[in-house]
């Protein structure tokens, strides 16, 4: 385990390249996806052209130009010819394979069809236990002379955790403190990194506590004490910043329409209703926005499914609210690299807001406790994913309507009155963030 961006993928790539251009061996690199596996392969391809010796050993496919390989860097299999012995070529090979946990059956079957005495498991903690067991079987034919390397960050307390405490493995652990000592990280960078998700995993190399994870690798977004600490009643005159109105529109069934009013330091539930009438919902939204002095551009509507009807109706009524699609990509830049979609992005902003001191109206404690049902995990590309609502339903968890409404108020498209916030923060310092 090494802190993120330490260079472990490059080091492993150079080590594998050294072996396959020195010994007639087969190496297999397995990762949660082909995209991840090809990172190491990409480094191998980059550096096999560093000198004429390694380049001359490469066996190209018929009609394939070596220069094309250097440019594309997307091969899943390389072969090297190290010479001849007893009239037969001495070949070495390296493969990359995907262990996509979203399709366990096909991933497991394809892995079992391979065999190798040298195996690298990249982003090991993100590979399912059952699939890892099938990966391990690759070594079965050469158990006495095999090499098994697991690298990654400790996202899950699974086989990777067990290996980390198994005395049969050699352990290497490089955390951010060693990175600072080596000059790879600065104190100021680490200070900023501590504000980001997964600092303990990515920089401290700490596995999640055992009681934090469910059997599918999900962790609670926020704990009960943090939620309960947020309960309070704040008078309107003590609320900071431009108000935002967020509406979660319900479909048929047990779901509710919910209207949330949120300031920079406080959120309250204005109304709940089980009506599915589009016009009723639109009229209620406009009324609540006017009553609470909410700019229409600071009004957020769930634009999924039946919510789109309400969104369209409001725009026909010249109320230019913001439509939020939870399944859309997160904001470009850092958020897009960190979150699977806008739903995950907005929920993480909600989490940070509560931890930083955001308050929730005490009158709706039971509704806010829905937060305990919101869980997240890192998927194969390290992006944060909130447990899908369909999966929550299968587990018997009701739709978190109030929390969905609150989370979407953190969408990035709102109008933000900085001067007002600065003025009100000074005036009501006890309540500000």
The contacts found for 40-43 with CB under 8 angstroms, 24 or more apart, are: 40/9, 40/12, 40/13, 40/16, 40/96, 40/120, 40/122, 41/13, 41/73, 41/75, 41/76, 41/78, 41/94, 41/96, 42/13, 42/73, 42/74, 43/9, 43/10, 43/13, 43/14
Per-residue model confidence as pLDDT tens digits over 224-259? 888 989 999 888 888 988 999 999 998 654 578 999
Class of the domain covering 214-427: alpha beta
Per-residue model confidence as pLDDT tens digits over 105-151? 444 455 655 678 899 999 998 888 888 988 888 887 666 788 999 99
pTM, whole model, 2 decimals?
A: 0.62
Answer for the pair 361, 265: CB distance below 8 angstroms, yes or no.
no
- 70 band by pLDDT with thresholds 50, 70 and 90: low
Answer for the pair 259, 405: CB distance below 8 angstroms, yes or no.
yes
Question: Which CATH number, 3.30.70.1230, 1.10.260.30, 1.10.620.20, 3.40.50.300, labels domain 8-202?
Answer: 3.40.50.300
Give CA–CA dist 30/150, Å, rounded: 10
- 173 band by pLDDT with thresholds 50, 70 and 90: very high
Say what the pLDDT of residue 421 is: 45
The contacts found for 332-336 with CB under 8 angstroms, 24 or more apart, are: none
362 phi-psi bin (left φ>0, alpha ψ -120 to 50, beta other): alpha
Distances (CA, A) of 158 to 125, 147, 164: 7, 20, 10
- 155 band by pLDDT with thresholds 50, 70 and 90: confident
Say what the pLDDT of residue 99 is: 82
Give CA–CA dist 246/404, Å, rounded: 9
Per-residue model confidence as pLDDT tens digits over 212-231? 667 677 888 988 888 989 99
- 64 band by pLDDT with thresholds 50, 70 and 90: low
Give me the residue spans of the domains in the chain: 8-202, 214-427
Stretch (H or E) spanning 246: strand 244-248
């Amino acid at each position: 385990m090494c802190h993120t961006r330490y260079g472990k993928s490059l080091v492993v790539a150079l080590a594998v390249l050294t072996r396959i251009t020195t010994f007639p061996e087969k190496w297999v690199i397995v990762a949660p996806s082909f995209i991840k596996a090809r990172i190491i392969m990409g480094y191998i391809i980059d550096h096999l052209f560093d000198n004429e010796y390694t380049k001359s050993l490469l066996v190209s496919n018929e009609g394939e130009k070596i220069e094309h390989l250097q440019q594309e860097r997307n091969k899943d299999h390389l072969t090297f010819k190290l010479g001849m012995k007893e009239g037969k070529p001495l070949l070495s090979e390296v493969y990359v394979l995907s262990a996509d946990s979203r399709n366990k059956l096909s991933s497991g079957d394809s892995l079992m069809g391979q065999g190798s005495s040298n195996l690298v498991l990249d982003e090991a903690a993100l590979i399912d236990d059952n699939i890892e067991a099938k990966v391990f079987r690759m070594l079965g034919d050469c158990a006495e002379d095999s090499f098994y390397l697991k690298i990654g960050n400790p996202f899950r307390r699974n086989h990777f955790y067990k290996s980390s405490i198994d005395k049969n493995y050699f352990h290497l652990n490089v955390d951010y403190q060693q990175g600072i000592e080596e000059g790879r990280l600065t104190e100021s960078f680490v200070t900023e990194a501590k504000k980001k998700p997964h600092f303990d995993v990515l920089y401290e190399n700490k596995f999640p506590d055992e009681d934090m994870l469910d059997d599918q690798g999900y962790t609670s977004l926020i704990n009960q004490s943090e939620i309960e600490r947020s309960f309070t009643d704040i008078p309107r005159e003590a609320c900071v910043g431009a108000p935002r109105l967020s509406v979660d529109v319900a479909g048929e069934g047990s779901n509710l329409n919910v209207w949330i009013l949120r300031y920079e330091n406080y959120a309250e539930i204005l109304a709940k209703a089980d009506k599915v009438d589009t016009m009723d919902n639109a009229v209620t939204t406009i009324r609540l926005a006017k009553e609470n002095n909410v700019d229409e551009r600071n009004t957020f509507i769930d634009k999924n499914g039946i919510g789109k009807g309400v969104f369209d109706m409001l725009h026909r009524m010249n109320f230019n609210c913001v439509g939020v699609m939870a399944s859309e990509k997160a904001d470009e830049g850092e958020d897009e690299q960190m979150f699977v979609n806008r739903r995950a992005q907005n929920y993480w902003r909600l989490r940070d807001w509560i931890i930083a001191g955001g308050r929730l109206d005490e009158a709706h404690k039971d509704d806010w406790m829905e937060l305990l049902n919101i869980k997240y995990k890192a998927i194969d590309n390290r992006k944060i994913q909130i447990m899908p609502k369909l999966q929550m339903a299968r587990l018997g968890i009701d739709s978190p309507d109030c929390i969905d409404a609150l989370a979407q108020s953190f969408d990035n498209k709102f109008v933000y009155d900085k001067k007002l916030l600065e003025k009100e923060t000074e005036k009501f310092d006890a309540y500000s963030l």
